Homo-oligomer: A and B are copies of this chain.
Amino acid sequence: MRKTSKIKEIKLKDLDAENFIERQVKEIRAMVGKGVAINALSGGVDSSVVTMLGHKALGDRLRTVFVENGIMREGEPEMVVKAFRKLGVRVELIDAKKEFFSALKGLTDPEEKREAITQTFYKEVFGRIVRESKAKYLLQGTNYTDVEETVAGIKRQHNILKQLGIDTQKTFGYQVIEPIIELRKTGVRKVGKALGLPPEIYARPPFPGPALAARVIGEVTPQRVAIVRQATAIVDEELKGTRAFQWLAILHEDKVTGLRGNKRDFGLQIELRCWDSTDAVTATPTRLRFDKLTELADRIVKEVPGVVSVTYNVTRKPPSTIEAV
């Protein structure tokens, strides 16, 4: 850890993972001393690596919290908790589904939905846990790309505490520790592998912060998330063999006419997207075989209740974007 103003990138070619781990473990120990630290694990590679580093440094004096927000993919919370249990790391699974869905109720604007999820996570759920805990040290998975994306001059450490509802004027002594701030994603993955994380964690493709809420056009309800979760599981299963950059299933709000048991009925539409890209800045739709597309549609209309129509996006980015909302 260095002060924000002095952060220098460690390039992948210069990264000695073992050495890096040793150095970070020492620094975390030096900072926390006999104290207690806390961190939130999302299951993404960044927070997973931070959890492992913190665990190595502090053992039981690190409290790791996994917030189940109700908008994750099929089996995701269980998979993550189990993977860490195997490594001897205890993860607290916090059921906050009710808080998130109540914050999302009635919202249809994507920005408002995103904001509701962020606020609920920081202020309501994780913020409360941090404030109620005795932990004064907060481990954060900020990486070098995050630093670059932060406009120069913003005090990020101050920011995160404020986001958690901690008034640093009244309550002194909080410290934010960012062990992977010198690394980019590829470096983080390398360290994750060296830390003994399984490939399903260290090689995990990025997933948007608002999770499946970003895959629902219109209001995000438990029922609508359940639908897009099922469609996502099917697409993940069918496309995991492809070399595509990313794929996704989106539940539309528009209803379209379908036929169910010979009766004309309004049903749901799922849009599929699968992208070829190297940098996500530009992207083209993957030329999936037509058989694969039909197979995907067949499975989705058969297995996901209420869906009568499946489309495949054929637009480039730009003017499209990778995600729909």
Q: Which residues of A contact B (CB under 8 A)?
A: 110, 217-218, 252-254, 256-260, 264, 267, 271-272, 284-285, 287, 290, 293-294, 296-298, 301, 308-321, 323-325
Contact = CB atoms under 8 A, between A and B. Distances in A.
A111 B281 CA distance: 42
A264 B321 contact: yes
Contact of A316 (B254, B260, B298): B298
Task: Specify the main secondary structure of chain A where it touches its partner.
Answer: mixed
Contact of A256 (B293, B309, B324): B324
Most buried by B among A284, A296, A310: A310
B315 A312 contact: no
Oligomer copy total: 2
A272 B311 CA distance: 9
A297 B314 contact: yes
A320 B301 CA distance: 9
Contact of A259 (B267, B290, B319): B319
A310 B315 contact: yes
A111 to B, nearest CB: 10
14 contacts: A253-B254, A256-B325, A257-B324, A257-B325, A258-B319, A259-B318, A267-B319, A271-B311, A285-B294, A294-B314, A297-B314, A309-B319, A310-B315, A311-B311
